[in-house]
């Protein structure tokens, strides 16, 4: 689809520098470019916490400078149904979801794509740092050239048909090159900071926001041995491996080593905490993932070796993948992994290619209990 003036592409403009330069690059390549601004969240406090109004003005300014039309679409209903409800359900179940993955697969590369096609577009484009490569009838998802900005972790669940109609113009550039192009083009947002988090939370305090939708249930904060060390505000406010916000001061019966969240006992509403960044309860060497999605064809072999990431920006971890059944995979890591978190995603890679991924389901509740029991036995023997 490159270098065809007849090819109409609609760029998802967020108001940020990356999508602005994506539109610029496509226009230079000869595409008939248009912009589209997405509204994905509405509530009474949106204007206070979300920068959507300023984002729209920045997107409009870019379109005016490029001389291209700007569309506006509201996907808030679809966002609530397909992303936000899942987000709440996961937190209510004691897991820690990553809504950005669903936002991509359900909104940016589904609702937006469908809307763009209805407007007559041949394809869409975004400012994501990723690349695609067509081979035969398949489209492969490749890491961005700027590995520090690579976003394939968040894109691994995008449907193959959507990738086939998507362009990632900035995926071949380094971030400083993107800012340089924006500055040369005279875009006012050329020095704008990268957005963090998700718009419906914005700059507001996360615990206050979540508390509006899920009732908090304070409870005991205990060591693995059952010693009470504090009170938690609600299990949903904590994630495995977390250090900040525990409120455990100095204790005469404990060392000064920092405390970390090691487990959530949902049945008793107890938060288990341990001391030490590399405490054994924080370390796991395997996981079970479900809700699998493969970028192109599903693996044909009953097992394979690759690398994986269990969180964004994590270094690639060598692993061995097997399949207990058609809907799940077991991942055995070469090295122990810290704070594997149910609800987060494990994403697989082979070199620059993103193979796909799934939702971390079991880091082994039974394993966790066995390790806890073993720990207690060791302590009692000592």
Which residues does 62 contact at the CB level (< 8 Å), separation at least 6?
Answer: 13, 20, 23, 35, 187, 189
Which residues does 229 contact at the CB level (< 8 Å), separation at least 6?
Answer: 221, 222, 223, 248, 251, 254, 259, 273
Give dist(CA 316, CA 39) in Å, integer. Answer: 34
The single residue of 50, 63, 123, 199 carrying the catalytic annotation is: 199
Joined together, the tokens standing for residue 372 give 């806890």
The single residue of 50, 63, 103, 123 carrying the catalytic annotation is: 103
b/e per residue, 177-212, with b = 16+ CB within 10 A? ebbebbeebebebbebeeeeebbbbbeeeeeeebee
Please check whether residue 283 is in contact with residue 323, taking contact to mean a CB–CB distance below 8 angstroms: no
Nearest 5°: the CA angle 110, 111, 113 is: 60
Q: Which helix (H) or strand (E) holds 347?
A: strand 345-350
Active site residue 50: no
Joined together, the tokens standing for residue 57 give 């003005």
Q: Distances in Å between the alpha carbon of 1 and those of 5, 27, 30, 109, 132?
A: 10, 13, 10, 18, 13
Nearest 5°: the CA angle 79, 85, 90 is: 130
Give dist(CA 223, CA 228) in Å, integer. Answer: 7
Q: Is 43 exposed, middle or buried (0-12, 13-18, 19+ CB in 10 A)?
A: middle
Active site residue 329: no
Q: Which residues are catalytic?
A: 103, 199
């Amino acid at each position: 689809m490159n270098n065809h003036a007849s090819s109409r592409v609609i760029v998802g403009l967020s108001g940020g520098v990356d999508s602005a330069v994506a539109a610029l690059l496509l226009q230079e390549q000869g595409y008939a470019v248009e912009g589209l601004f997405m509204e994905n969240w509405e509530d009474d406090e949106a204007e206070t916490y979300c920068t959507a109004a300023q984002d729209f003005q920045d997107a409009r300014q870019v379109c005016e400078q490029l001389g291209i039309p700007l569309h506006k679409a509201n996907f808030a209903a679809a966002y609530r149904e397909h992303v936000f409800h899942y987000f709440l359900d996961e937190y209510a179940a004691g897991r820690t979801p990553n809504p950005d993955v669903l936002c991509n697969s359900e909104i940016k590369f589904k609702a937006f794509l469908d809307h763009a096609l209805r407007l007559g577009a041949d394809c869409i484009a975004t400012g994501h740092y990723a690349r695609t490569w067509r081979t035969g009838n398949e489209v492969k998802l490749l890491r961005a050239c700027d590995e520090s900005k690579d976003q394939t972790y968040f894109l691994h669940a995008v449907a193959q048909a959507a990738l086939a109609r998507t362009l990632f113009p900035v995926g071949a550039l380094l971030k400083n090159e993107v800012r340089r192009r924006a500055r040369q083009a005279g875009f006012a947002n050329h020095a704008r900071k990268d957005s963090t988090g998700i718009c419906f939370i914005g700059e507001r305090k996360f615990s206050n926001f979540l508390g509006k939708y899920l009732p908090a249930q304070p409870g005991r904060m205990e060591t693995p041995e059952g010693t009470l060390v504090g009170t938690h505000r609600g299990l949903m406010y904590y994630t495995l491996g977390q250090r900040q916000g525990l409120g455990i001061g100095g204790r005469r019966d404990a060392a000064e080593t920092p405390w970390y969240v090691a487990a959530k006992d949902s049945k008793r509403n107890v938060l288990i905490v341990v001391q030490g960044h590399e405490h054994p309860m924080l370390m796991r060497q395997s996981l079970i993932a479900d809700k699998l999605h493969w970028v192109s064809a599903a693996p044909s072999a009953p097992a394979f070796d690759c690398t994986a990431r269990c969180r964004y920006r994590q270094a690639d971890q060598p692993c061995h993948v097997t399949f207990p059944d058609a809907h799940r995979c077991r991942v055995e890591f070469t090295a122990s992994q810290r704070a594997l978190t149910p609800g987060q995603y494990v994403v697989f890679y082979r070199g620059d290619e993103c193979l796909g991924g799934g939702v971390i389901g079991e880091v082994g509740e039974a394993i966790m209990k066995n390790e806890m029991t073993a720990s207690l036995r060791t302590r009692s023997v000592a």
